[in-house]
Amino acid sequence: MSGVSKVLLHKYFIVPLLVLLSASTLSPLVPTRAHDIDAAAIEATEGLIDNGGYAVKKDNKYIVTHNLHIPYVPASIIKIATALAALEILGPEFRFNTDFYLDDQQNLYIKGFGDPFLISEEVAVIVVKLKELGCTKINDIYLDNTAFELVASADGAGASDNPYDAQNSALAVNFNTVNIIKDASGSVVSAEEQTPSLAMMAELAQKLPPGRHRINITHEESSGAANISRYVGELFRVFQKQEHIGGAGTITSRKIPENLKPFYTHRSSKTLGDIIEPLMLFSNNFIANQLFLALGSHKYGYPATWEKSKQVMTDHLKKKYNLPENELRIIEGSGLSRKNRASPHAMMQLLDSFKPYAKLLPQEEGKYLKSGTMKDVYTYAGYFLNNKRPDSFVLLLNQGKNTRDRLLDVLEQIYQAK
């Protein structure tokens, strides 16, 4: 029974609150409030936690807690905080914009404002729209990333070619990743029907073995920024040719001239509400931090910075939820940073407010569940269902052994027994 003996479960049903151990005799597994749990529940979780905490509610009341106000590294469950703040500050109907300019030499300027879903399908739609508006030639393509001013990658991001380390940028396509297939002869093509094969793909795949690979194009510090602009430009150029729009030229980064008027402003086909579900399903760090950075620019204007967004998150969560920084500290919005902190109490406050959006979390065995995993960090947050009504739960383990699933089973059995 997933680490919990039938004997212990039987004891849980029959032990009355009168047999609760006194605070002076309880083991380190004592919950923050001893009256919230009976002795058998304490025994059932024994051996599963070396360093961590948890909390479960039913009908809006705590039924079991442990280390309720102690903060831990949350990993990816902090995406719930990022999504909630974005929904509350920007609104579910918020859409990202991307601006397009044409000068008298028929050069195209593109200025990004952080749209995380500027993907191949969206680029194809944009190029069709440019043609409809009278764009008959595109010569040079200039990419403007100045809406973000990031002196470094997200805290905790590595330098690997893994997609979860992809850098954030104001203008990016396909999450700053490419999905490619390399055959035994060394030939490289796009692995996605919607994304055409690009010249840069073969260069990025030079050191890779044959097979299918999704790689972060920004992993090399010396070429990361240049690759971002090149990727955007090459993708637009291919769709330009597919739409039989004439012209040719260079692809490079350049700021929009001050006197140039916009030719077209594209509003993303996806609302913020549309973005949250894939963010949670794929636990996409790039998307999470694009939303996080949007909060700072919304409040304090462009350019977006990590500091602006940290300030907005801290102020908003403290004001709305009265959560002190020692219980909820957010350095970046994806969960990559080991400087992020969240207590079970803080996460439960956020989960209670996220209930209208509970269905945006992944579903697993009759519950809504978001996980977080890093070295020595194993977390879950979500909702058990009581006649289809969501009840919040969270568990945070910062320890070497991963007993997360066994502990979740115990907490769910206690929940169902109440």
Measured CA to CA in angstroms, residue 406 lies from 20, 72, 192, 358 at distances of 24, 19, 38, 23
What pTM value is reported for the model?
A: 0.90
* Whether 136 and 244 share a structural domain: yes
Residue-level pLDDT at 36: 46
pLDDT average, residue stretch 66-78: 97
Pairing of strands 211-216, 377-386: unpaired
> 388: helix, coil or strand?
coil
Tally the domains of the chain.
2
Mean pLDDT rounded to a whole number for the chain: 90
Within-domain flag for 1:
no
- Domain final position from 252, 270, 288: 270
Domain termination site, one of 203, 238, 270:
270
3-state secondary structure of 210: coil
Sign of CA dihedral 168, 113, 180, 199: negative
> Domain containing 58 — which CATH number?
3.40.710.10
Domain that holds residue 224: 97-270
The token pair that represents 15 in the structure block: 């032990």
* 230 part of a folded domain: yes
Domain-embedded: residue 226: yes
218 and 197 housed in the same domain: yes
Model pLDDT for residues 339-382, shown as the tens digit of each residue: 999 999 999 999 999 999 999 999 999 999 999 999 999 999 99
Tokens encoding 313: 């998150």
Q: What is the pLDDT of residues 245-275, one digit of tens each?
A: 999 999 999 999 999 999 999 999 999 999 9
Q: Is residue 51 part of a domain?
A: yes
